[in-house]
């Protein structure tokens, strides 16, 4: 059983790696972003509270996030298989609270330089069904998805201004949460540049080496 936290800038490939790591270690993938979007879609009390915040790309208050995560960590699957946390903690308050309510084996920082994620995100184009293209692909140039014929365009929150704002929030808040993990001897940084498969192998190797060394599991 493993209890991991995955940190990484928007556009670093964190979501993709989180899915692969969760399959590899057989630990539930817990994405707070996904949970909140589901709560909004279902119109729950939490969903109604956070809808406008999500739309604005701002951070949901720690208090609400702690309720959400506390409930989720109480499920049986977590007790049996641990967790792979994706998108939590994002502030130092969340980091401190998490370490109070749960044992965490390691926080992993998937490092991709800001310049590179900016390039990746600003050249990203998506169709209405979610197929992803680069600005230089025919689909993006023609503006029509070859798979489902829907419009291909830039996401509203992928404009340079919006992306810069979100990266700034990461620098101001989430970097402090990571520094806190580091101060507790719980942070491992791994180079996130490369093809997803290669980054995945690098991650597993680094995580296993660190946990074997720490003799935590």
Q: Which residues are catalytic?
A: 14, 90, 124, 155, 166
In 3-state terms, what secondary structure has residue 123?
A: coil
DSSP symbols for 23-92: HHHT--EEEHHHHHHHHHHHT-HHHHHHHHHHHHTPPPPHHHHHHHHHHHHTSHHHHHHEEEEES---SH
Give me the least distance between CB of 62 and ligand AMP, in Å please. 7
The angle subtended at Cα 97 by Cα 36 and Cα 199, nearest 5°, is 65
Residues that bind ligand AMP (CB under 6 A): 32-33, 36, 53-54, 57-60, 65, 87-90, 94
Q: Smallest distance from the beta carbon of 119 to ligand AMP, in angstroms?
A: 19
Beta-strand pair 29-31/187-191: unpaired
Compare residues 28 and 210 and give the one whose CB is closer to ligand AMP.
Answer: 28
Q: Which is nearer to ligand AMP, 44 or 149 (CB)?
A: 44
Beta carbon nearer to ligand AMP, 46 or 139: 46
Comparing every residue's Cβ against ligand AMP, the nearest one is 33
């Amino acid at each position: 059983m493993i209890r991991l936290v995955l940190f990484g800038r928007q556009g670093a490939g964190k979501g993709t790696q989180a899915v692969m790591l969760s399959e590899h270690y057989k630990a539930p993938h817990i994405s707070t972003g996904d949970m909140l979007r589901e709560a909004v879609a279902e119109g729950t009390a939490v969903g109604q509270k956070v809808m406008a915040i999500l739309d604005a790309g701002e951070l949901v208050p720690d208090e609400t996030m702690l309720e959400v995560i506390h409930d989720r960590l109480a499920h049986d699957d977590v007790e049996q298989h641990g967790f792979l946390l994706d998108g939590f903690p994002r502030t130092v308050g969340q980091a401190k609270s998490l370490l109070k309510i749960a044992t965490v084996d390691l926080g992993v920082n998937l490092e991709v330089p800001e310049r590179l994620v900016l390039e990746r995100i600003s050249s990203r184009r998506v169709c209405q069904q979610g197929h992803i293209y680069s600005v230089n692909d025919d689909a993006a140039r023609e503006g029509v998805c070859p798979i489902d014929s829907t419009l291909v365009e830039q996401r509203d929150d992928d404009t340079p201004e919006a992306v810069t704002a979100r990266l700034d929030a990461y620098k101001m808040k989430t970097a402090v949460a990571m520094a806190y993990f580091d101060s507790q001897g719980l942070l491992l940084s791994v180079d996130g540049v490369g093809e997803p498969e290669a980054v995945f192998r690098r991650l597993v190797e680094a995580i296993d080496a660190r946990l074997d060394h720490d003799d935590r599991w």
